[in-house]
Amino acid sequence: MPEPVIIEVELKVKGTTESEDKYLSFLAVPFLCNDTGYSWLLKSGSYTSKLSTLEFRLGYVVSSAEATIFVRVIRGSWPDGFRGQFAAFTTGFHCKGMACEDSVASIDHERIVLLDSRGERVVTGDGKIELSRCVVSVENKGGLKVSVKAWKHDNIIVETEMVFTALEAGLSDGTLDIGFCKLQVNVSWSLISQHPVFANDLIL
Protein backbone atom coordinates (compact mmCIF):
# COMPACT_ATOMS: atom_id res chain seq x y z
CA MET A 1 0.00 0.00 0.00
CA PRO A 2 1.65 3.29 -1.03
CA GLU A 3 2.19 5.93 1.63
CA PRO A 4 0.41 9.28 1.17
CA VAL A 5 2.33 12.43 0.31
CA ILE A 6 1.58 15.29 2.69
CA ILE A 7 1.68 18.79 1.17
CA GLU A 8 1.89 21.58 3.71
CA VAL A 9 1.02 25.19 2.85
CA GLU A 10 1.87 28.27 4.89
CA LEU A 11 0.82 31.37 2.97
CA LYS A 12 0.94 34.77 4.64
CA VAL A 13 1.28 38.49 4.04
CA LYS A 14 4.30 39.88 5.87
CA GLY A 15 3.67 42.78 8.19
CA THR A 16 6.06 45.37 9.57
CA THR A 17 7.01 42.91 12.29
CA GLU A 18 6.58 39.13 12.52
CA SER A 19 3.73 39.54 15.01
CA GLU A 20 1.84 41.56 12.38
CA ASP A 21 2.07 38.83 9.72
CA LYS A 22 -1.36 37.82 8.45
CA TYR A 23 -2.05 34.22 7.45
CA LEU A 24 -3.95 33.65 4.21
CA SER A 25 -3.79 29.87 4.37
CA PHE A 26 -2.34 27.27 6.72
CA LEU A 27 -3.14 23.66 5.90
CA ALA A 28 -1.83 20.16 5.28
CA VAL A 29 -3.35 17.99 2.55
CA PRO A 30 -2.63 14.25 1.99
CA PHE A 31 -2.42 12.84 -1.54
CA LEU A 32 -2.31 9.14 -2.38
CA CYS A 33 -0.62 8.24 -5.67
CA ASN A 34 -0.77 4.75 -7.14
CA ASP A 35 2.14 3.57 -9.25
CA THR A 36 1.22 3.47 -12.96
CA GLY A 37 3.02 3.01 -16.24
CA TYR A 38 2.06 6.41 -17.63
CA SER A 39 2.19 10.07 -16.64
CA TRP A 40 -0.98 11.77 -15.52
CA LEU A 41 -2.30 14.90 -13.86
CA LEU A 42 -4.51 14.54 -10.81
CA LYS A 43 -7.51 16.85 -10.73
CA SER A 44 -7.11 17.73 -7.08
CA GLY A 45 -9.67 20.47 -6.48
CA SER A 46 -9.68 23.55 -4.25
CA TYR A 47 -9.15 24.14 -0.56
CA THR A 48 -10.86 27.14 1.01
CA SER A 49 -10.04 28.93 4.25
CA LYS A 50 -11.43 32.16 5.68
CA LEU A 51 -9.13 34.39 3.64
CA SER A 52 -8.14 32.43 0.54
CA THR A 53 -8.81 29.55 -1.83
CA LEU A 54 -5.94 27.37 -3.07
CA GLU A 55 -5.99 24.96 -5.99
CA PHE A 56 -3.64 21.97 -5.93
CA ARG A 57 -2.65 20.22 -9.14
CA LEU A 58 -0.45 17.20 -8.62
CA GLY A 59 1.31 15.51 -11.53
CA TYR A 60 2.79 12.01 -11.70
CA VAL A 61 5.71 11.74 -14.14
CA VAL A 62 7.12 8.29 -14.93
CA SER A 63 10.81 7.66 -15.69
CA SER A 64 11.51 11.32 -15.18
CA ALA A 65 14.51 13.55 -15.64
CA GLU A 66 15.05 16.76 -13.71
CA ALA A 67 15.38 19.84 -15.91
CA THR A 68 16.98 22.94 -14.38
CA ILE A 69 16.30 26.00 -16.52
CA PHE A 70 18.44 29.14 -16.83
CA VAL A 71 17.56 32.22 -18.91
CA ARG A 72 19.60 35.34 -19.67
CA VAL A 73 19.57 38.25 -22.12
CA ILE A 74 22.42 38.00 -24.64
CA ARG A 75 21.40 40.82 -26.99
CA GLY A 76 19.27 43.94 -26.62
CA SER A 77 17.44 44.81 -23.40
CA TRP A 78 14.11 44.26 -21.68
CA PRO A 79 12.01 47.47 -21.91
CA ASP A 80 10.91 49.20 -18.71
CA GLY A 81 7.25 48.69 -17.89
CA PHE A 82 6.94 45.42 -19.82
CA ARG A 83 5.50 42.47 -17.93
CA GLY A 84 7.14 39.12 -18.58
CA GLN A 85 5.85 35.61 -18.03
CA PHE A 86 8.07 32.56 -18.44
CA ALA A 87 6.52 29.10 -18.38
CA ALA A 88 7.37 25.45 -19.02
CA PHE A 89 5.31 22.57 -20.40
CA THR A 90 6.26 18.91 -20.20
CA THR A 91 5.21 16.43 -22.86
CA GLY A 92 5.14 12.65 -22.68
CA PHE A 93 3.03 9.55 -23.24
CA HIS A 94 0.06 10.73 -21.11
CA CYS A 95 -2.06 7.56 -21.12
CA LYS A 96 -1.49 6.62 -24.76
CA GLY A 97 -3.53 3.55 -25.57
CA MET A 98 -5.01 3.48 -22.09
CA ALA A 99 -8.35 4.65 -20.72
CA CYS A 100 -7.79 7.31 -18.06
CA GLU A 101 -10.09 7.57 -15.09
CA ASP A 102 -12.34 10.59 -14.61
CA SER A 103 -10.17 11.80 -11.73
CA VAL A 104 -7.04 12.17 -13.85
CA ALA A 105 -6.09 14.08 -16.96
CA SER A 106 -3.21 14.37 -19.40
CA ILE A 107 -0.10 16.02 -18.01
CA ASP A 108 0.65 17.23 -21.54
CA HIS A 109 0.59 21.00 -22.00
CA GLU A 110 0.01 21.75 -18.31
CA ARG A 111 1.48 25.24 -17.84
CA ILE A 112 4.11 25.53 -15.10
CA VAL A 113 4.81 29.20 -14.43
CA LEU A 114 8.52 29.85 -13.88
CA LEU A 115 8.21 33.63 -13.45
CA ASP A 116 5.45 36.21 -13.67
CA SER A 117 7.05 39.61 -13.14
CA ARG A 118 3.75 41.48 -12.62
CA GLY A 119 5.44 44.77 -13.45
CA GLU A 120 8.58 44.14 -11.38
CA ARG A 121 12.05 44.22 -12.89
CA VAL A 122 12.61 41.14 -15.09
CA VAL A 123 16.38 41.23 -15.74
CA THR A 124 19.17 41.60 -13.19
CA GLY A 125 22.21 43.80 -13.75
CA ASP A 126 24.26 41.01 -15.35
CA GLY A 127 21.52 40.02 -17.80
CA LYS A 128 20.21 37.03 -15.87
CA ILE A 129 16.51 36.42 -15.41
CA GLU A 130 15.91 35.22 -11.87
CA LEU A 131 13.15 32.64 -12.23
CA SER A 132 10.87 32.07 -9.23
CA ARG A 133 10.94 28.38 -10.16
CA CYS A 134 13.64 26.82 -12.32
CA VAL A 135 13.26 23.02 -11.89
CA VAL A 136 10.62 20.81 -13.53
CA SER A 137 10.26 17.05 -14.06
CA VAL A 138 10.11 15.72 -17.62
CA GLU A 139 9.58 12.20 -18.96
CA ASN A 140 12.94 10.97 -20.20
CA LYS A 141 11.25 9.99 -23.48
CA GLY A 142 9.29 13.23 -23.69
CA GLY A 143 10.13 16.87 -24.16
CA LEU A 144 10.31 20.23 -22.43
CA LYS A 145 8.69 23.31 -23.92
CA VAL A 146 9.84 26.72 -22.64
CA SER A 147 7.74 29.76 -23.49
CA VAL A 148 8.01 33.52 -22.92
CA LYS A 149 5.31 36.15 -23.18
CA ALA A 150 5.87 39.91 -22.93
CA TRP A 151 3.24 42.63 -22.85
CA LYS A 152 2.48 46.15 -21.68
CA HIS A 153 -0.91 46.93 -20.17
CA ASP A 154 -3.35 44.63 -22.03
CA ASN A 155 -1.44 44.42 -25.32
CA ILE A 156 0.62 41.25 -25.87
CA ILE A 157 3.73 42.35 -27.72
CA VAL A 158 5.33 38.96 -28.28
CA GLU A 159 4.79 35.30 -27.39
CA THR A 160 7.17 32.56 -28.48
CA GLU A 161 8.45 29.15 -27.38
CA MET A 162 11.01 26.44 -28.04
CA VAL A 163 11.14 22.69 -27.37
CA PHE A 164 13.98 20.62 -25.91
CA THR A 165 14.22 16.84 -26.19
CA ALA A 166 14.66 15.31 -22.74
CA LEU A 167 18.09 13.91 -21.84
CA GLU A 168 19.12 11.62 -19.01
CA ALA A 169 22.17 13.82 -18.37
CA GLY A 170 23.99 16.74 -19.94
CA LEU A 171 23.11 20.20 -21.21
CA SER A 172 20.76 21.64 -23.83
CA ASP A 173 20.70 25.22 -25.06
CA GLY A 174 18.85 27.43 -27.50
CA THR A 175 17.82 31.03 -28.15
CA LEU A 176 14.49 32.84 -28.17
CA ASP A 177 14.25 35.99 -30.28
CA ILE A 178 11.50 38.24 -28.93
CA GLY A 179 12.28 41.30 -31.04
CA PHE A 180 13.54 43.80 -28.51
CA CYS A 181 16.02 41.27 -27.09
CA LYS A 182 17.38 37.78 -27.61
CA LEU A 183 17.30 35.26 -24.77
CA GLN A 184 19.61 32.32 -24.23
CA VAL A 185 17.95 29.32 -22.59
CA ASN A 186 20.12 26.64 -20.97
CA VAL A 187 18.76 23.40 -19.52
CA SER A 188 20.77 21.12 -17.25
CA TRP A 189 19.50 17.52 -17.16
CA SER A 190 19.85 14.84 -14.49
CA LEU A 191 18.05 11.50 -14.21
CA ILE A 192 15.79 10.96 -11.20
CA SER A 193 16.18 7.48 -9.70
CA GLN A 194 13.12 5.25 -9.96
CA HIS A 195 14.19 3.41 -6.81
CA PRO A 196 14.30 5.08 -3.37
CA VAL A 197 17.61 5.12 -1.51
CA PHE A 198 17.36 4.63 2.24
CA ALA A 199 19.84 6.01 4.75
CA ASN A 200 20.93 2.56 5.97
CA ASP A 201 21.79 1.59 2.37
CA LEU A 202 24.40 4.33 2.05
CA ILE A 203 28.08 3.47 2.50
CA LEU A 204 29.93 6.27 4.30
Domain assignment present for 161: yes
Domain assignment present for 197: no
What's the whole-number mean pLDDT along residues 152-163?
86
Domain assignment present for 138: yes
pLDDT score at 98 = 45
Q: pLDDT tens for residues 100-117?
A: 554 445 556 678 999 999
Listing DSSP states for the chain in one string gives -PPPEEEEEEEEE--SSGGG-EEEEEEEEEE-----SS-EEEEEEEEE-SS-EEEEEEEE-SSEEEEEEEEEEEEE-PPTT-EEEEEEEEE--TTTTSPPPTTEE--TT--EEEEE-TTS--B-TTSEE--S--EEEEETTSEEEEEEEEEETTEEEEEEEEEEE--SEEEEEEEEE-SSEEEEEEEEEEEPPSS---GGG---
Overall domain count for the chain: 1
Domain assignment present for 204: no
Residue 173, pLDDT above cutoff 60: yes
Q: pLDDT tens for residues 10-63?
A: 888 888 888 888 888 888 877 766 665 666 666 567 888 777 888 877 777 777
Residue 125, pLDDT above cutoff 70: yes
Domain assignment present for 202: no
Give me the domain span that covers residue 29.
5-192
Greater confidence, 137 or 98?
A: 137
Domain assignment present for 122: yes
Domain assignment present for 111: yes
Domain assignment present for 198: no
Per the prediction, the chain carries an average pLDDT of 80
